[in-house]
Structures are given as C-alpha cells and as structure tokens.
Amino acid sequence: MSRVFPFTSIVGQERMKRALVLNAVHPQIGGVLIRGERGTAKSTAARALAFLLPEINVVADCHFGCDPDIPSTYCDECRDRVAAGEILPVAVRRTSFVDLPVSATEDRVVGTLDIEKAIQRGERHFEPGVLASANRGLLYVDEVNLLDDHVVDLLLDSAAMGMNVVEREGISFTHPAEFILVGTMNPEEGDLRPQLLDRFGLAVDMAGIHDPRLRVEIVKRRIAFEQDPDGFREEWEDREAELSNRIQQARSRLPLVAYTDTDLYAIAALTSDFKVDGHRADIVILKAARAHAAYEGRMAITDRDILLAAELALPHRLKRQPFQETVLEQGQLEDKLRRAQEEAKAEMSDTSQTAAMADPQKKALRGPTR
C-alpha cells in the first residue's frame, strides 16, 4: 500500500474530495461521477479513498466478504451453511479496491452460473464476478463513458439495490453487492446518456489547476512520493489517520442525524424550481446533506448541508440544449434555496395552523428524524 498516494496530500480539488468522502460516510448516496481532463488526480483520489476506509469483519472463506454480524445480508452459500448448523469463521481484512476494465463483459461483472453442473449433477455452482470482489468495498471504473451501456446499467442497478441476482435457465444465485461506485471520464471522449448520468448520485466537473504556486506544490509532492513512497506516507500518516477516524465517526453518527418536513419541502421546492425530472435528485440531496452534517459533527441538517449537497447532485441532472454547457452558479443556487426555504416555512406554517384548527389539543407533527 506504500504506492498509494495519500488522500490528504492531494492539492486542491476540494469538491471532488468532499464528494468522495460523503460517499464513504453514506455509500447509499449512489456513487460519484468525476468528469475532467487527464492528469487531474481522478484515479489517484479514488485509490487513496479506499486506503482510508476501515478494516472490516468478513466471513473468512466467503467469496463475497459477507458481514458475519448481519445475517440478513448473507449470500446464498452462507445462508445454506448456517442452515446446516455451521458456525461461520470470521476474519478481518482491508476494504477492497476493485478496478473494472473498460472491456468488461456482463458475465465478468455479475458472474456466471454453471448450467451444465446444475443439469447433470444437480449442483448450483456460481463463479463470482467483479461485483463479488467489490462487495463492501470501492468499485472504480475509469473511462466509464466508454463502457457498454448495458454493463453500466448493471453496475448502477447493483449499487442501488445492494444485491446482485444472477438468473439463468430457471436457476438463480444471490449475493450482497454493496459498494462505493466511483466512475471517471474525460468528456472530450464522449458523454454518458442522460438516463445513466441521472443514476450517479453525485457528479463533479474538474479542471486542471492553473495557479503556478499550486502547480509547484503538486510537482514537489509527486516527486517526493516517487523518490520515497514509505517516507512520504509516513509524513502524512497523522492526517490520514485523522480523516479515517472522522469518516468512521460520521458513519456512526449518520443514523442519528435529524431533518424536518421543512427541510424536505425546501429540497423538493429547489429541485422543482430547477425543473429536475423524477425524484432521485431529492433523495440524493437529502442523503448527501445528512452525510455532510454527520461529517461536520452535527446532529441535524442545515441550509449549508443542503446547499453543498445540491451543488454535487444537481448539475448533471439539469436539462440542457445540444452543445450547451450546464453551469450552476453559486449565487443562483443560494437564491433558489433561500426562496425554497421561505416557501417551505410558509407551507409548514399553514399546515400547522390547519392542523391546530382541526384539533386544538393536538400538536403539529414534527418531521422525520432518521
């Protein structure tokens, strides 16, 4: 792991780093798509993030790294073993980092069932694919825009469901497939279809750094790392450990982070104002806002959390004309969020008054807190 460049030593690119960290805190956000020129630390950051993630308990001899503490997520093999009375052995391992090649086929991704064995011997034999290796880890897809659309669909389906189901000739096999999906691409080499773009939880557009002082610092750090990887990692070890601990604490805090009906209405009014199709953006903004609040050490989301989440969840979902760049100005977003909050407060006030008039003894309901 000495060849992994420290995450905290990456110069600049703060929005990309924050999007990755939020997915580490709350993997159900739905991954992150990083779009940018070559040489802007896209793949470096993805690999570095995996190194920050904590060690995990796994069923020692399970191909899928099932969590021994959560039987409801067991693969079919582990379920069968437990049903037979076996006590599953437990091991500890680092969070996995899986690199998916752009030439990957469907069978390579989801795995294959041996139909011949099933027919001749009555045995259900499953050959694991990439999704098995990525379970409870980070799945990295470089040049995701060059990947077959059907394969991208499979990845996004599994990331959303947290499960991989393979069915062939009436035979099926199921295993957990929960992972942080990180896709990178160079827009000059083609874009993703809007339907696929929408299914990435967050997206970040990156540009090269042009400040000479920052470019000098990038060169210095890279040369120092190449000359002495172990020494460089040791120099950044305390900052890496601090960020890793902060992510773990945020994960523990996340289920307790509260939000109100006013927050939900403000998010809905914001996405409606931007004319965003569907409801995925609303859900992603809420999840990302809660993850950001947890990361910042707070127990309830604020406008600041919603604003940051919207910056990462909206741009790739906005409608645009052919050859038109989608640009979301900070001031524009702040104005729309302010109007959305005012509308939300007015709506909630009207709702509370109506409820009080209907039953003066009954207090207005508080929004969900989970």
Tens-digit pLDDT profile for residues 112-144: 776 666 566 656 677 888 888 888 889 998 888
Q: Quickly state the pLDDT bin for 349 (edges 50, 70, 90).
A: low
Residue 33 CA to residue 13 CA, distance in Å, equals 14
Residue 367 main-chain phi, psi, to 5 deg: -70, 170
Query: Does this model's pTM top 0.75?
Result: yes
Give the pLDDT confidence score for residue 88 in this predicted structure.
87
Question: Is domain 7-55+94-250 given the CATH code 2.60.40.1170 in the classification?
Answer: no
Query: Which residues are catalytically annotated?
Result: 280
Going across the sheet that includes 97-100, the strands are: 97-100, 137-141, 179-185, 32-36, 202-206
Give the pLDDT confidence score for residue 42 in this predicted structure.
81
Of all residues in the chain, the percent with pLDDT exceeding 90 is 26
Q: Quickly state the pLDDT bin for 106 (edges 50, 70, 90).
A: confident
The segment with the largest mean pLDDT, out of 46-50, 111-115, 304-308, 341-345, is 304-308
Nearest alpha-carbon partner for 177 in 123, 240, 100, 241: 100
Contact 70, 91 (CB under 8 A): no
The residues facing 167 across adjacent strands are 172
Strand bridging mode 137-141 / 171-176: unpaired
Inform me whether the pLDDT recorded for 322 exceeds 60: no
Q: How wide is the angle at C-alpha 167 spanned by C-alphas 101 and 139, nearest 5°? A: 25
Inform me whether the pLDDT recorded for 284 exceeds 80: yes
Number of Cβ atoms within 10 Å of the Cβ of 14: 9
Q: Quickly state the pLDDT bin for 73 (edges 50, 70, 90).
A: confident
Strand bridging mode 32-36 / 179-185: parallel
Give the pLDDT confidence score for residue 202 in this predicted structure.
93
SS3 at position 88: coil
Query: What is residue 147's DSSP assignment?
Result: S
CB burial string 104-132: b at 16+ within 10 A, e below: beeeebbbbbbeeebeeeeeeebebbbbb
CATH number of 257-357: 1.10.8.80
Contacts for 101 with CB less than 8 Å, ≥ 6 apart: none
Domain-by-domain residue ranges, the chain? 7-55+94-250, 257-357
Give the pLDDT confidence score for residue 222 in this predicted structure.
92
Give the pLDDT confidence score for residue 86 in this predicted structure.
87
Number of Cβ atoms within 10 Å of the Cβ of 8: 16
* Burial status of residue 300 (CB atoms within 10 A of its CB: 0-12, 13-18, 19 or more): middle
Give the pLDDT confidence score for residue 320 in this predicted structure.
61
Inform me whether the pLDDT recorded for 365 exceeds 70: no
Residue 340 CA to residue 343 CA, distance in Å, equals 5
Inform me whether the pLDDT recorded for 275 exceeds 70: yes
Give the pLDDT confidence score for residue 364 in this predicted structure.
36
Positive or negative torsion for Cα 102, 151, 1, 205? positive
Give the pLDDT confidence score for residue 105 in this predicted structure.
84
Nearest alpha-carbon partner for 181 in 149, 155, 207, 217: 155
Contact 143, 190 (CB under 8 A): no
Inform me whether the pLDDT recorded for 361 exceeds 60: no
Q: Which amino acid is at 74?
A: Y
Give the pLDDT confidence score for residue 362 in this predicted structure.
37
Residue 105 CA to residue 148 CA, distance in Å, equals 8
Q: What is the mean pLDDT of the chain?
A: 82
Positive or negative torsion for Cα 23, 27, 30, 33? positive
Give the pLDDT confidence score for residue 173 in this predicted structure.
77
